[in-house]
Amino acid sequence: MSELIKAGILGATGAVGQRFIEALENHPWFEITSLAASERSAGKKYEKAANWRLESRLPDSVKDMEVVPVDPKKVEADVVFSALPSGFAMTVEADFAKEGFAVASNASAYRMEKDVPLVIPEVNSDHLGLIDVQQDNRGWDGYIVTNPNCSTIVMVPTLKPLMQFGLESVTVATMQAISGAGYNGIASMAILDNVVPYIGGEEEKVETEPLKLLGEFDGTEIIDADIDISASCNRVPVMDGHTENIWAKMSQDPTPEQVKEAFLNFNPGLGDLPTEPDPVITVRNEPDRPQPRLDRNMGKGMGISVGRIREGIRYTAMGHNTVRGAAGASVLNAELLHKIGKL
């Protein structure tokens, strides 16, 4: 590609915003042209505004960039990646879409809106057809595309290959990392030596988002998948990586070996997206895997690791919540948008 696509990051100073910088630094298709955050940060150099907390170094290319307010008139970009708190995202993402920006959002604000695509490229890339419906409905020059909640995205790529066996119901218990709550999300005194069996709004998201993701797009709307999902969500003292115990009931009652084969054969064949993991699902044969500390960086943090597939069907899935579950998911969506000519 001769010219790079200009990318802005909204909420660039936060936990997910930093992951966006990491994912877009040296990206073959995108270049970071704007970093936006709250009034607290606006006007400062990025290095001063953000407290960089990732293992990787803060890239030199963004250190001296001036942070701008989250305002379409102040942001220079073709696509904006949103890592904003959901309440604020509701108004501001629409402002950007009205002004002609493509918005790739992590926030939950628009995920369940009927005319907004909620997409995992390996699962439901055809749902991007909703962009035309959205622009017709709302009269926007730009558009919003969303990616799912960080727990949903670990589970749904494993449910997709089970659809062939007549998936009827799913029960899931999550063990979610503390980075999922953002840097200021949960006090260390509350989570160290502890498990917190409640994450506000999480169970509702894990029970509803998969139905849209696994649903059928009929050209005008999504017909939700007919699956019962029951979720219990827990916060555990892990830095990064959500682990999920999943029980899946299927009408054809496959054996663990058939399920394992289905996971291994799951190849959505997108082919040439820079952030796409290969394979999407890695099946671990060791009895004590997957584990977040050992497996979260599989596929540069974009792979889903699965193990403990047993009669029932019961298994464990694990994925990196701020990479696969947040910034990497939006970047992969934007790569697909570029591939299909929407960006």
Ligand X SMILES: NC(=O)c1ccc[n+]([C@@H]2O[C@H](COP(=O)([O-])OP(=O)(O)OC[C@H]3O[C@@H](n4cnc5c(N)ncnc54)[C@H](OP(=O)(O)O)[C@@H]3O)[C@@H](O)[C@H]2O)c1
By annotation, the residues acting in catalysis are: 150, 242
Contact by Cβ (8 Å): 275, 26 = no
Binding residues for ligand X restricted to 49-78, rule: CB under 6 A: 70
Question: What is d(CA 177, CA 267) in angstroms, rounded to the nearest whole number?
Answer: 28
Q: Closest CB to ligand X among 124 and 283?
A: 124
Question: What is d(CA 80, CA 147) in angstroms, rounded to the nearest whole number?
Answer: 14
Q: Under the criterion CB under 6 A, does residue 326 sit at the interface with ligand X?
A: yes
CA-to-CA dists, residue 154 to 176, 274, 277, angstroms:
11, 20, 13
Contact by Cβ (8 Å): 198, 140 = no
What phi and psi values does residue 318 have, to the nearest 5 degrees?
-150, 140
The sign of the dihedral angle between the CA atoms of 196, 197, 203, 207 is: positive
N residues, the chain: 343
Q: Under the criterion CB under 6 A, does residue 180 sit at the interface with ligand X?
A: yes
Place of tokens 């407290």: 51
Place of tokens 């193990």: 307
Site string for ligand X, 105-134 (x = CB under 6 A): -xxx--------------------------
User: Given the rule CB under 6 A, which of 94-102, 103-111, 290-298, 306-314 is the region that contacts ligand X?
Assistant: 103-111
User: Given the rule CB under 6 A, which of 72-80, 164-172, 203-211, 321-329 is the region that contacts ligand X?
Assistant: 321-329
User: Given the rule CB under 6 A, which of 56-64, 83-91, 210-218, 299-307 is the region that contacts ligand X?
Assistant: 83-91
Question: What is d(CA 256, CA 168) in angstroms, rounded to the nearest whole number?
Answer: 17
Q: Closest CB to ligand X among 174 and 179?
A: 179
Q: Under the criterion CB under 6 A, does residue 150 sit at the interface with ligand X?
A: yes
Q: Under the criterion CB under 6 A, does residue 206 sit at the interface with ligand X?
A: no
Question: What is d(CA 263, CA 306) in angstroms, rounded to the nearest whole number?
Answer: 9
User: Given the rule CB under 6 A, which of 95-103, 179-187, 275-283, 293-301 is the region that contacts ligand X?
Assistant: 179-187
Beta carbon of residue 34, minimum distance to ligand X (angstroms, whole number): 13
Beta carbon of residue 95, minimum distance to ligand X (angstroms, whole number): 12
Q: Which of 134, 146, 174, 179 binds ligand X (CB under 6 A)?
A: 179
Report cis status (omega within 30 of 0) of the bond before 290: yes
Q: Which of 5, 7, 8, 14 binds ligand X (CB under 6 A)?
A: 14
CA atoms within 13 Å, Cβ hemisphere of 299? 23
Q: Which residues bind ligand X (CB under 6 A)?
A: 11-17, 37-38, 40-41, 70, 83-86, 88, 106-108, 150, 179-180, 182-183, 321-322, 325-326
